[in-house]
Amino acid sequence: MKCLRSWFNSWSILFGISLVMLAATASASQLPDFTVLVERNSPAVVNISTTQKVSRDNSPGNGVPPNLNIPDLPEDSPWGDLFKHFFGEPGEGGPEPFDRQSLGSGFIIDSDGYIVTNHHVVRDAEEIVVTLSDRRQLPAKVIGSDARSDVALLKIDASGLPTLKTGKSKDLKVGEWVMAIGSPFGFDHSVSAGIVSAIGRNLPSENYVPFIQTDVAINPGNSGGPLFNLAGEVVGINSQIYTRSGGFMGLSFAIPIDVAMDVIKQIKGSGHVRRGWLGILIQDVNRELAESFGMKQPHGAAVLKLLPKSPAESAGIKVGDVITEFDGKTIYRSSDLPLVVGSTPIGKQVDMKLIREGKEKTLSIKVSELPNDEEIAKLDGKPKETSTNRLGLSVEDLTPEQRRQLELAENGVLVSNVVKGPAFSAGIRRGDVILRIENQDIRNAKQFHELIKSLPTEKSIPILVQRRGGPAFLAIRIPEKK
């Protein structure tokens, strides 16, 4: 009996191990095999290298740190040429610009040489070189680029190229397998895979892209490369990573291909991208705000400000309204509204639901085209910047909100930029508030500009600035013009 029991126990253990191995084999067989997808699609993925001209100077943020004093060196010193190369001759405007190179990825959408990548990959590039899978290197030109969506369209002089098939990003589901091909850190045709972590993700600095969030390993150099579904279709363009180390940390973001192809279509058609616009500033509605607005639960976009002569002002929208629906689409968060409005055809008349003083209201609004940043700044009444080369700085008027935060009644102008010159040498930096110059109060940028015209040269002039909440006197000397 004891022998029989021992045999039975041994058989049970073996049977259990077999079941575990069988289950493991079954699980492994259910994991996706990406080998075919890689073989089919890699030839249409390209490496993009760019060259930009970058200037070295002694301005803040460039060249030598402002607190580093370059020593006086003998004329025959072997270090002389090195310092001149990096920092320029004393008193000169700095050395000549140097070339900076960067890498990215892209993919071919047309056999005649049209390539899609990120806007930030080719921004400010003076030279763009595309390396194909067969190792050919061809110069590329930018057909069009859109900063707001981070999408760019390039063209190379070639034909008969392999292309990728685009899918529909709107059909993506959270948990679905996806794969990326690109050139992280310059390593061509590197493949990584993962799942869709979230869809419709809004990032703080991006208002017009509902990003696809994945846990695919994306690193510098992957930007502009394709994100595939298991059918081998491009569903996104890898664009950003969330990182504290500079490398992949499990949060990667891709531009939905539906958004990207709409941008590409507009670039091909007119050379630029048009988006809908209402002309309002908005914020999220939390639980406390919802209660104060007479809402049962927090949702929608609360209107903070109306820009003058905007569609919102014409439609009768008021500060304090909470927009809950636009053109039949529910607005759950404030970040939903720019996405919906931006994709609305220009000139379309749509209905919009909102809550005003606890009551639901419907307004009709005609969507207009989103102006450029300069036009929006003018509508928003942002202070005009005044620049002067005599001191080497730019100033702008303080807004009422800035005066309130700084506890300033009337005096002061904000330093918006400082370049190499008397102001920088005196220690004035961007963000300082200039209160007085040579015992005269500074009221606004216009008065500041007039005052500095009459300042004496070759004499130390007291200048009172406010920095980090406290005032400080600095001495500035304006050299005589030669």
**What type of residue is 115?**
I
CA distance 263 to 186: 27
Would you call 272 helix, strand, or coil by DSSP?
coil
- Does 112 qualify as catalytic in the annotation? no
Helix boundaries (H) for 31-180 = 35-41, 80-87, 119-122
Nearest to 100 by CA among 156, 151, 49: 49
Q: Is 223 a catalytic residue?
A: yes
Nearest in space to 71 (alpha carbons), one of 56, 55, 58, 90? 90
71, two tokens:
């020593």
Cβ count within 10 A of residue 325: 17
Report d(CA 335, CA 271) in Å as an integer: 27
Number of H helices, E strands in the chain: 12, 27
Catalytic residue chosen out of the listed positions 49, 59, 145, 150 = 150
Helix H or strand E encompassing 67:
none
The DSSP annotation for 241-270 comes to E--SSSS--S-EEEEEHHHHHHHHHHHHHH
Which listed residue (105, 149, 223, 394) is catalytic? Answer: 223
Bridge partners, 129 (sequence order): 49, 139
Annotated catalytic residue, options 120, 215, 284, 327: 120
Catalytic annotation on 272?
A: no
CA distance linking residue 104 with residue 440, whole number of Å: 53
Amino acid at 79: W
State how far the alpha carbon of 196 is from the alpha carbons of 214, 228, 240, in Å. 4, 11, 15
Residues annotated as part of the active site: 120, 150, 223
